[in-house]
Amino acid sequence: MILKFYEINKIDIISQNLILFYGNNEGLKKEEIIKIYSKTDKKVYKYEEKQILENSQNFFDNLYSGSLFENEKFIIIDRVTDKILKIIDEILEKKIKDTTILLNSGILEKKSKLRSKFEKDKNLVCVAFYPDNNETLSKLVNNFIKEKNISLSQMNVNFITNKCNGNREFLTNELEKIYHFSKNKKNIEHDDLVKLINLNEDFSVAELIDNCLAKNQKKTFNIINENNFNNDDCIIITRTFINKLKRNLYLAKQYQLNKNIEKTINDAKPPIFWKDKEIVKNQIKNWTTKGIEDLIIQINDIELKIKKNSNNALQMILDFIIQSCTKTSN
């Protein structure tokens, strides 16, 4: 049985025996799982799929054992794939009562046997959690500030939404910080937000490097001109550069093997955020493995020089970025 995430409240979700949550919107999945927690007195237990596959007998012993589980139970199995299908079939055969089992998965393609089983069986619940966009995240922010009676301009709502780069979980954490700050200051200004928001990654830096590696010259130059990068940013830039290059080196090697760029991007671990897939495709097509290896050597060398003497750090970095972006061969 297929449900939209906003339809979950229309059924008694905790009375269901088997539920599949899948998709890469981890923040929204987490919100819904917490809501289920709050609605039940069932004792909660967590597993990873790997634990169960490595010792399925132990899992079933625990599942049927009254000494371990007290009356009703709510079991969450994380990181599930099609590999768990045989376990699910056995659970269905046993017709377990008073137990809710929630399978939490990442992306499951249409050809997934697990997804197909849950979609077609009316006694099973299947819910997809697709990525947020700026519209849904902006709505989340507006609902939050209205509920908490926080004064925030639409410009600042957009600022928060854009800075979170589609990450709902990160946005939720930042909103909680804003809420606590608002207890002493209801009317929050832009400067307050800049100080409050703790970005996991400087997205202007990430955008700069992504466009450089994709050889989007105009966009790269615009980002350089629009941002006041300074020497303090240089280590962040080099670290971000190295991380992206290492990822791309792995992807380029996979692409050499399978000759299928779509498969290479979709099979990437950790998954590539949906908004980034197109630009990463361009990066892989623009650079050979040898070209990427050369860039890693160069950026490591620059980082060492910066650590020894940071006086000319920014110029070295910008020269490297411009040279890489405009390079005609790799």
- Read off the pLDDT of residues 189-209 as tens digits, 9 standing for 90 and up: 888 887 777 544 455 788 899
CA distances from 34 to 24, 27, 30, 44, 69 (A): 17, 11, 6, 11, 20
- Give the model's pLDDT for residue 198: 53
Q: Which amino acid is at 175?
A: L
CATH number of 203-326: 1.20.272.10
Cα three-residue angle 77-126-100, rounded to 5 degrees = 45
Q: Which amino acid is at 83?
A: K
Answer positive or negative: Cα dihedral of 93, 67, 104, 37. positive
For tokens 């020497």, name the residue. Answer: 231
Residue 294: burial class (beta carbons within 10 Å; 0-12, 13-18, 19+): middle
**How far from the centroid of its chain's Cα atoms is residue 327's Cα?**
32
Instruction: Name the fold adopted by 2-128.
Output: Rossmann fold (3.40.50)
- Give the model's pLDDT for residue 123: 92
CB 191, CB 274: distance < 8 Å? no
Q: For residues 47 and 70, give the distance between their C-alpha atoms in angstroms, rounded to a whole number.
A: 17
Q: For residues 109 and 115, give the distance between their C-alpha atoms in angstroms, rounded to a whole number.
A: 8
Counting as low any pLDDT under 50, the low residues of the chain are: 67-69, 199-201
Q: For residues 68 and 14, give the distance between their C-alpha atoms in angstroms, rounded to a whole number.
A: 20
Tokens of 127: 């819910």
Residues in the chain: 330
Q: For residues 247 and 279, give the distance between their C-alpha atoms in angstroms, rounded to a whole number.
A: 13
The region that residue 166 occupies, defined by phi over 0 for left and psi between -120 and 50 for alpha, beta otherwise, is: left
Read off the pLDDT of residues 84-93 as tens digits, 9 standing for 90 and up: 999 999 999 9
